[in-house]
Amino acid sequence: MDIFHIEGPVQLSGSVNINGSKNASLPIMAATILAPGKSTLRAVPYLSDISVCGKLLSQLGCKLTRGQNDELSIDSTVIDNPVGEYEIVRRMRAGICILGPLLARCGRAEVSMPGGCAIGDRPVDIHIRGLRELGAQIHLKNGYIIAEAPNGLKGKDIFLGGPFGSTVLGTANVLMAATLAKGQTIIESAACEPEIADLANCLNKMGAKITGIGSPRLIIKGVKQLQPVEFEVIPDRIEAGTFMIAAAITSSELRLENCRLNDMMAVVDRLRNIGVTVDAENHGCVVTRKCSIKTADITTQPYPGFPTDLQAQFMALLALAEGNSVIIEKIFPDRFMHVAELNRMAANLRKEGPAVIVAGVKKLIAAPVMASDLRASAALVLAGLAAEGTTIVSRVYHIDRGYEKIEERLNPLGAKITRQSI
């Protein structure tokens, strides 16, 4: 179990290249199940979640090889064990998105129910509902979802909304299954996240017929088969947002290369509103903070709203604002494990149901803190960059799930982070 020692406060400068998106890569890796043969994906980041997903695909029968430049080849010619084991899916909930493609390809799938999660309840009822609508017979046995469609899936008009709006991986599952279903499927209330658009673009490159990409109404005309693909995944908008906040929280200027501002308008809008400059430049942007941080009211929402995956990091930034801010979490109402840890660093945060009142303080003070989930741990690292003294973040394996060697990315910019294995 590694820990980080983060010396602060620091100022950052220089440029950073944004990696390929974790949350686009994971469903696209699952999509290769649909197309027997060897697919080659580019810009797949080196993250522990990607390795875990690779293990899951290997257990199904796929052969994976890493090439140069973040390339990942997946040979899905043979899939002889359509089972997603508990040991893997419990470690990475995105494992659930092999369910739809396995069912479409093999007519049968057994995938473990994911189980508990640090960011709150994360049911998969909508995934199951959507696949049932396509004609799958699904039951639960010994903690596993057993799905069968011996005579194939049939296209249908499906409303896929849930209590919190659309579902990202639920949309991915039903979309992938529908590509090989007989006839036309309409997914209404589909997730519009750029990662789902990227998946749909990849599926179309494989030979699928999907229109409405990026909108809440996806129309899928089923095809008989899909072909292997060469595809480059989009840059990670959450990693980009985290580096933007790193520049803002340290009163610095950073250049981000390979980042799509169009995928991040809600975040850029909030940053500009609180006094951070974000200027588009070539295929990226320059982020600068020169004045004090103003307050903001933020509500997380499905895309194109403010992403829940940047809520914790933004809270660390607003902890230093001049006045009171309010952050309301509308996707995962319990995603606030970072609140108590940031308060250990002299932030003044008060949780009120699914909201946090952030009373700005003049400075953060280093403390030993514990990472609880991926984005919460990113918030602690950001706070550590700005805090006075040496912040010690334990359980950094959480951050390794979604940020590739973050200390090696931040240190050349001026951060002082050391990783210690204990």
Q: Point out which residues bind ligand EPU (CB under 6 A).
A: 23, 26, 93-94, 121-127, 162-164, 167-170, 195, 308-309, 331-332, 374-375, 402
* Alpha carbon 89 to chain centroid, angstroms: 16
CB of 114 to ligand EPU, least distance (A): 9
CB of 70 to ligand EPU, least distance (A): 18
CB of 7 to ligand EPU, least distance (A): 26
Q: Among positive and negative, which fits the CA dihedral 301, 53, 62, 134?
A: negative
Q: Which CB atom, from 86 or from 164, has the smaller least distance to ligand EPU?
A: 164
What contacts 288, CB < 8 A, 6 or more positions away? 247, 252, 253, 276, 277, 279
Q: Which CB atom, from 373 or from 407, has the smaller least distance to ligand EPU?
A: 373
CB of 372 to ligand EPU, least distance (A): 12
Q: Which CB atom, from 237 or from 289, has the smaller least distance to ligand EPU?
A: 237
* Distances in whole angstroms, Cα of residue 225 to Cα of each of 203, 253, 284: 11, 49, 37
CA distance 386 to 331: 28
CB of 211 to ligand EPU, least distance (A): 22
CA distance 247 to 51: 29
Tokens 């659309």 locate to: 166
Catalytic residue flag (residue 62): no
Residue 111: strand pairing partners:
84, 145
Q: Which CB atom, from 150 or from 163, has the smaller least distance to ligand EPU?
A: 163
DSSP 8-state code for residue 222 = -
**φ and ψ at 62, to 5 degrees?**
-75, 155
Sheet of 389-394, strand order: 368-370, 389-394, 2-8, 416-421
* Distances in whole angstroms, Cα of residue 287 to Cα of each of 84, 247, 248, 307, 328: 42, 6, 7, 19, 25
Q: Which CB atom, from 124 or from 147, has the smaller least distance to ligand EPU?
A: 124
Q: Among positive and negative, which fits the CA dihedral 408, 412, 417, 418?
A: positive
Phi-psi sector, 215: left (phi>0), alpha (psi -120 to 50), beta: beta
Q: Which CB atom, from 168 or from 259, has the smaller least distance to ligand EPU?
A: 168
CB of 322 to ligand EPU, least distance (A): 29
CA distance 418 to 407: 7
The residue from 117, 192, 202, 285 that is catalytic is 117
Q: Which CB atom, from 4 or from 332, has the smaller least distance to ligand EPU?
A: 332
Length of the chain: 422
CB of 358 to ligand EPU, least distance (A): 20
* Alpha carbon 270 to chain centroid, angstroms: 20
| Contact assessment for residue 151 and residue 181, using Cβ atoms and an 8 Å cutoff | no
Catalytic annotation, residues: 117
